[in-house]
Amino acid sequence: MGCVSLTQTQTFFFLVCMKFPRASGILLHPTSLTGPYGIGDLGTEAVRFVDFLVEAGQTYWQVLPLGPTGYGDSPYQSFSAFAGNTLLVSPELLVEDGLVDGRSLNDKPDFPAATVDFGAVYRWKTELLAAAYDRFRRGAGNGIRGELEAFCREHADWLDDYALYRAIKSTQSQRPWYEWPDKFRLRDERTLNIATEQLADRVDAEKFYQFLFFRQWNAVKKHANDNGIKIIGDIPIFVALDSADVWCHQNEFKLNADGTAKFIAGVPPDYFSKTGQRWGNPIYDWDAMRRDGFRWWVERFRATFRMVDIARIDHFRGFIAAWEVPGEDETAENGSWVAVPGRELFSTLKKELGELPVIAEDLGVITPEVDALRDEFEFPGMRILQFAFGGDAKNHDLPHNYTQNSVAYTGTHDNDTTVGWWMSQAGGGSTRDETAISHEREFCKEYLQTDGSEINWDFIRAVWASVTDTAIAPAQDLLGVGSSGRMNLPASTDGNWSWRLEDEALTESILRQLRDLTRIYGRD
C-alpha cells in the first residue's frame, strides 16, 4: 500500500507539532444523511453537509467506521477493516457515470424518510450495483476503466482477499466463513486458486463495488479538505469474527479448531449493562502479531489514514488489557483482564507511519496504565458531558476539569441524545436508578444554570466554551431530538444505527446559532 494520503499542510500540522487547534465539529455518520434512497449516501447530500459545516465555522466532520456492515447493521461489526460500505454508494452519481439509467431510480421502494430500513436498502442497492456492474461489463463507463485498474493494483494487498471472501460467501448462502467446508475455511491454496478462477466474475464485481465506494468517498473527502474540513474517522479496536480479516489471518486470533472464537471481547458490568457488554469479537493473539512486527495493524492504520485525516481509536483501554470472555458464555460477567502490548504496538506504528493523528477513546474502566499509554504518545483523550453530573465537582467530565489536549463531546453515538438523557427514566438505557437520575438532573441545573428548556444548546455551549482543544456534538443535539434520535444502545442488537436527518432539518437558525457559538468561543 502507498503512503498516508495527507496534504502537505496536513502533514506539517500533524507530523511536526501534533497539536490540535482550538476547533469544533459535528458527529454524523453518512448513513444518517437525508436523501430519497433509503439511506444517506456519498452524493449531493454529503456535499451539502460539508457546505453546512463550512458555513457554520466548523473544522471537523466525525463519522463512524465506514466498512461494510454485517450482523445487526453495526459499523463496529464489519466484514473488513479495509473495505468500504457499498450501501453508501450514491445512485445519482452512478447515473452521472453512465452506469445506471436514471429512469430506473423511479422504481425505488417507498423507503421511510427518517430511518434506515437496512433490509430494504440492502436488497435494492444490491440489485442496483449488480445492474451497474453488468452495464459496465457491456461497455458503459469507459472513462473510469483506467481508474478501476489503478485502484485494483493499488489496493491489491487487501482487495483480492476481500473480494474472494465475499464471492465465496455468496456461494455459501452468506454463512460465516467458519461454517464453510474445510477446504475453504482452512484456506487450502489449491482450492482458493480454483475458486478465484471459477468465481472470477463475482470477484471482479466485488472489486468494482469497492472502486465505486472509494471513488465517491475520496471525492467527498477532497471537497471537505479543499474547504478546510477534516474528517475524523474511527478505528474499532476489534474486528468481526465473520470478516475477511479473521478468515485470512486465523493464526493471529484466539480461535478454536473449528474457527469459532475461543474468547470474545467485551467489558464488565458498566453504566449501560448490569451483566456487562458481550461484543462477540474475537480476541487477538498478540504473541503471533508481535512475531511479524504487527504487520496487519500497520497496514490497517495506513489504510485508515488514506480514508480519513484523524482517527478515533475505539476502546483505547483495550491496548493495555482486554476483557476476555469465554466464547461459550452468554454474558460478559465472567471475563478477565488480559494484558496487551499496547506500548510496543504504538511504538511500531509510530516508527512505520510517523506521528499518529489520533484521538484515544479512553472511556470505561480506566487505570493509571491507560492514562500513561495515552500520555506517552500525546494522544488527546475524551470527555463526555453526559457523564459529568453523577458525582461532585471533581468529576473529570465537568468542563472546569477538562485539559487542553482532549476532545469533549456533549455525547457520543453510544449515548442517548442530550434531550433524551435529560428526560431519561430508570431502566431506560443505563444502569442508573431514579435517585441517581434525579441527582444528575439537579446538579446539571445548578452547574449550567439552566431550566432544561434548551438543554441541548446548554450542553453545546458548555463544551464549546471549555478549554479543550476539540469540541464535538452529534447532529442530533443540534436538532434537539429526544431518544428517538439515539444512534446506538450498547448491549442491544435491535433498532440501532437507523436514525436519519429529515429534509431541511439543519435550518438556517441552527446554522446561525452554531456559527455564533463557534465564533464567540474562538473555535472558528
DSSP 215-257: HHHHHHHHHHHHTTPEEEEEE-SS--SSSHHHHHTGGGB-B-T
**What pLDDT was estimated at residue 325?**
93
pLDDT at 85 over 50: yes
pLDDT at 389 over 90: yes
**What pLDDT was estimated at residue 275?**
83
Amino acid identity of 447?
Y
**What pLDDT was estimated at residue 2?**
34
The overall average pLDDT reported for the chain is 94
- Residue range 498-507: mean pLDDT, rounded: 97
pLDDT at 1 over 90: no
CB proximity list for 75: less than 8 A, separation 6 or greater? 29, 64, 65, 66, 67, 69, 85, 234, 236, 497
Distances in whole angstroms, Cα of residue 78 to Cα of each of 167, 239, 403 = 16, 7, 33
- Residue range 216-235: mean pLDDT, rounded: 98
| Closest by CA position to 252, among listed 220, 294, 312, 213 | 294
**What pLDDT was estimated at residue 264?**
93
**What pLDDT was estimated at residue 78?**
97
pLDDT at 11 over 50: no
**Hey, which residues are catalytic here?**
314, 361, 414
- Grid cell 467446508 is found at 181
pLDDT tens readout for residues 36-79: 999 999 999 999 999 999 999 999 999 999 999 987 899 999 99
Structural domains of the chain sorted by starting position, each given as residue range(s) with its CATH number in brackets: 8-520 (3.20.20.80)
pLDDT tens readout for residues 92-138: 999 999 999 999 999 999 999 999 999 999 999 999 999 999 999 99
| Closest by CA position to 272, among listed 320, 332, 327 | 332
State the Cα–Cα distance between residues 476 and 75, nearest whole angstrom.
18
Select the more confidently predicted residue: 277 or 504.
504
pLDDT at 280 over 80: yes
% the chain with pLDDT above 90: 86
pLDDT tens readout for residues 164-189: 999 999 999 999 999 999 999 999 99
State the Cα–Cα distance between residues 8 and 30, nearest whole angstrom.
27
- Residue range 360-380: mean pLDDT, rounded: 94
pLDDT bucket at 334, cuts 50 / 70 / 90: confident
**What pLDDT was estimated at residue 491?**
75
SS3 333: coil
**What pLDDT was estimated at residue 101?**
95
Sign of the C-alpha dihedral, residues 190, 193, 196, 199? negative
Q: Global pTM? A: 0.93
pLDDT tens readout for residues 186-204: 999 999 999 999 999 999 9
% the chain with pLDDT above 70: 96
| Closest by CA position to 358, among listed 9, 4, 84, 41 | 4
CA geometry: angle 265, 267, 269, nearest 5 deg: 145
pLDDT tens readout for residues 430-477: 777 899 899 999 999 999 999 999 999 999 999 999 999 999 999 999
**What pLDDT was estimated at residue 3?**
37
H/E element, 57: none
**What pLDDT was estimated at residue 293?**
97
SS3 353: helix
- Residue range 272-301: mean pLDDT, rounded: 93
